[in-house]
Each structure stands twice: as C-alpha cells, then as structure tokens.
C-alpha cells in the first residue's frame, strides 16, 4: 500500500470507521427485524406448533445415508456436531448461547451422492461446471458414510405446500414497522417482508443463503427458526429436498424420541462395540 491511500483489501484505510459504523447499523437493523417477527410469533406460539403437529405423519426409511467427517467415525449417529456455530439448516447451533437455545439435528439423505454433496459441497458453487456430487468427490477431506434405516412416528414433509398452509395463515398477517422499512431503504438492503403464501415459505426453507443470518448477524435464519418451532412441537423430523441434488433429505430430532417407539439405526455391523448403532428412547441421551 502506498502513502496515497490505496485500497486496503476492499476499501480505503480512511473508510474503516465508516465501515464499522455501517456494520453496526446492519446489526441493529437485523436484530430489530428479527425481534419484531419473534414478538408476533410468540403471541401465537402454541397455534403455530399445533398447525404443524397436525400435519406430521409417520415415516419409515431404509438404507438412507449419513456422512460425517472422519473425526466422528466412532459416533456416526451423534447429532452433537450440528451444535457447532452456525448449526444446520433446520437447527440452531452456538450462534449466541446467551440469546438462543441450541438444539441438535441429525441430518440424513436418501442416497450417497447427496450425503457427500451436503457434507462437502456448498450452495455457492451452483452453476459451476462440476455437479454437486462431482464437486464433493474432488474434495480430499476424509469422511465416513454409513447406511441407516429408521421408523419415525411424526415427520413433517415440507415438500408438500399444503402442510405449510395452516402455519402461513397464522403469520401472513404479521406487520413490520414503517421505520424498519425506511432503514432498509437507507441501508440499501432488500426490504423486510412477511411470508404470505405456502410457496414463499417453501422457498425460504430451501434458501441457499441461510447461513448469512447466523454467520454475519449472529441471528438464526428463517429455516432455523422454523426448525425450532417444529422441534418444540414434538415432531421428530423434517423431510425436505437437497438444494444441491433435489434428492430427499431428513433432519431428525432424536430429543423428541423420549416418549415414542421411533428409532434410527445403522444397517451394517459396526467395527467396535463402542460404536452405538441405534438411537431410540433408551439411548437418545448419548446422541444429543
């Protein structure tokens, strides 16, 4: 860098205080956006849970896939890894434990290619010459993939928009303060909005940029908030499709197995007795 004030990475040194001030405004704006909707959700919390619980149905799956990083090879069914910041698409990780309770999610896919893509691929590479599966296979990371089967008593299929209609009817009347909209215009960010149709909610749950809220603003993303409502409703999982392969995926909430006969189990023999191969009501405390 020269003495003439050449750019320092993406801006001038003199612009650093201005950038910090702008970032503080963005943090404040996103917190107010989140808080306004959180307050209104709290007013209908039980009705939101009930609207989803009544649409949950049993779900049995066979020979699905679970991919984990090599360091988790001795506990492939543990959902504890999902608690790390920023969490997963449908569970809140250690974003800010003083404000948001963390809860785990066990992510499974219907095929091995999707399991690899979800673990190793990233949404920001869509449109590149390689497919999501090919991209995953080019990554040298050591991984373990296991075949799993399970039987769940209550799963919400968010691929079916009719399952979201009751929920949307409860939130579509939420209001946002005019000052919030004015601030969004001043900051040059997309205007805040409220979901008003099941299609909009389904698209929000599939957003490829869900990580922006937790990673940039220390706030849970809309899909993470939705996952929390589902989990709090006692539902044992969310069935959805991968944005990388469009194949079926499920996030399981083993913490809701306590009073059910639901289970998830590794299909094949395990390499050691120390590897626990089944999550059910009697063993769930070892996995979450």
**The pLDDT of residue 273:** 82
**The pLDDT of residue 246:** 94
**The pLDDT of residue 252:** 98
User: Average pLDDT of the chain?
Assistant: 90
Asked whether residue 2 carries a pLDDT value surpassing 90, the answer given is no
Q: Using CA atoms, how far apart are residues 243 and 240, in angstroms rounded to an integer? A: 9
Are 223 and 205 in contact, with CB atoms under 8 Å apart? yes
Mean pLDDT calculated for residue range 222-226? 98
Asked whether residue 1 carries a pLDDT value surpassing 50, the answer given is no
Asked whether residue 122 carries a pLDDT value surpassing 70, the answer given is no
Confidence label for 13 from pLDDT (cuts 50, 70 and 90): low
Spell out the SS3 assignment of 211-235.
CHHHHHHCCCCHHHHHHHHHHHCCC
Alpha-carbon torsion (121, 124, 129, 132), positive or negative = positive
Confidence label for 3 from pLDDT (cuts 50, 70 and 90): very low
Of 140, 124, 147, 133, nearest to 67 (Cα)? 147
pTM assigned to the model: 0.89
**The pLDDT of residue 287:** 80
Strands (E), 110-214: 143-157
**The pLDDT of residue 106:** 98
**The pLDDT of residue 32:** 97
Cα–Cα–Cα angle for 76, 80, 84, rounded to 5 degrees = 120
Mean pLDDT calculated for residue range 130-143? 69
**The pLDDT of residue 5:** 40
Q: Using CA atoms, how far apart are residues 240 and 244, in angstroms rounded to an integer? A: 12
Q: Which residue has the tokens 């990554």?
A: 139
Mean pLDDT calculated for residue range 89-118? 95
Asked whether residue 123 carries a pLDDT value surpassing 60, the answer given is no
Asked whether residue 127 carries a pLDDT value surpassing 80, the answer given is no
Mean pLDDT calculated for residue range 250-258? 97
**The pLDDT of residue 285:** 86
Asked whether residue 269 carries a pLDDT value surpassing 80, the answer given is yes
Predicted confidence (pLDDT) per residue in 163-215, tens digit = 999 999 999 999 999 999 999 999 999 999 999 999 999 999 999 999 999 99
**pLDDT above 70 coverage of the chain, percent:** 88
Asked whether residue 261 carries a pLDDT value surpassing 80, the answer given is yes
Confidence label for 274 from pLDDT (cuts 50, 70 and 90): confident
**The pLDDT of residue 110:** 98
Mean pLDDT calculated for residue range 141-163? 95
Confidence label for 4 from pLDDT (cuts 50, 70 and 90): very low
């Amino acid at each position: 860098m020269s003495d003439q004030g050449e750019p320092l990475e993406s801006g001038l040194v003199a612009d650093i205080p201005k950038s910090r001030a702008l970032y503080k405004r963005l943090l404040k704006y996103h917190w107010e956006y989140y808080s306004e909707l959180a307050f209104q959700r709290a007013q209908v919390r039980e009705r939101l849970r009930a609207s989803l619980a009544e649409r949950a149905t049993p779900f049995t799956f066979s020979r699905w896939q679970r991919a984990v990083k090599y360091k988790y090879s001795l506990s492939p069914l543990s959902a504890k890894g999902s608690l790390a910041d920023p969490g997963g698409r449908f569970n809140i990780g250690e974003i800010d434990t003083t404000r948001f309770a963390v809860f785990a999610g066990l992510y499974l896919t219907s095929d091995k290619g999707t399991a690899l893509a979800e673990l190793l691929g990233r949404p920001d590479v869509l449109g590149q010459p390689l497919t999501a599966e090919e991209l995953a296979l080019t990554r040298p990371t050591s991984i373990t993939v296991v075949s799993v089967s399970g039987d769940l008593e209550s799963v919400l299929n968010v691929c079916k928009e009719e399952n979201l209609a009751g929920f949307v009817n409860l939130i579509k009347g939420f209001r946002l303060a005019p000052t919030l909209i004015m601030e969004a215009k001043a900051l040059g960010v997309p205007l805040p909005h409220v979901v008003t149709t099941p299609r909009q909610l389904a698209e929000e749950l599939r957003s490829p940029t869900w990580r922006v809220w937790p990673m940039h603003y220390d706030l849970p993303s809309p899909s993470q908030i939705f996952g929390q409502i589902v989990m709090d409703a006692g539902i044992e999982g969310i069935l959805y499709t991968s944005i990388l392969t469009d194949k079926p995926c499920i996030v399981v909430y083993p913490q809701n197995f306590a009073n059910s006969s639901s289970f998830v189990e590794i299909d094949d023999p395990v390499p050691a007795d120390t590897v626990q191969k089944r999550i059910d009501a009697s063993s769930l405390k070892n996995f979450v």
